Amino acid sequence: MPFNYNDCIRKGLLRKIPHSKDKATQSLKKAREWLKESQNSLKVDAFSSSILASCMVMFHSARAILFLDGFREKSHACISRYLEEKYVKTGKLDKKWVELLDHSREIRHDDQYNISFFSTKEEAENAIKSANDFLSAMESLFKSILK
């Protein structure tokens, strides 16, 4: 883990912005679009594209929570650190979701930059399931924050 929450704040990788339910809602909408993209890519055996789209589902659904809270990320890793600090440590979110987000980010990195990494159908199917589950968890967290 390259950063912790305090590193992210100090280095400007997490920045305070005005709270925005609208941006948060748009980010969840974007996550749902990426989920469709992931499913469509799987149908045409574009496994890498499917996995990358699944990662984007997780990114945008987690980012929605930051927008709702009034934060903006400049690092994908810092989104995880934010969720960990604000929601896992307070018992509002299970740690498995942050671990899944970190795993997704690592897979995306391998797929984009490791020339010996090739995605399989099974990995793409698993990524879609994980992305769907993660999106549901973030939507539940979103609703609980609004209460």
Q: Give 72-125 pLDDT, tens digit per residue.
A: 999 999 999 999 999 999 999 999 999 999 999 888 887 778 788 888 999 999
Q: Is 58 left (phi over 0), alpha (psi -120 to 50) or beta?
A: alpha
Q: What is the pLDDT of residue 2?
A: 65
The answer to whether the predicted template modeling score (pTM) of the entire model surpasses 0.85 is: yes
Share of the chain above pLDDT 70, in %: 99
DSSP 74: S
Share of the chain above pLDDT 90, in %: 86
Name the class of domain 5-146. Answer: mainly alpha
The DSSP line for 36-56 is HHHHHHHHTT-HHHHHHHHHH
Give residue limits of the domains in the chain: 5-146
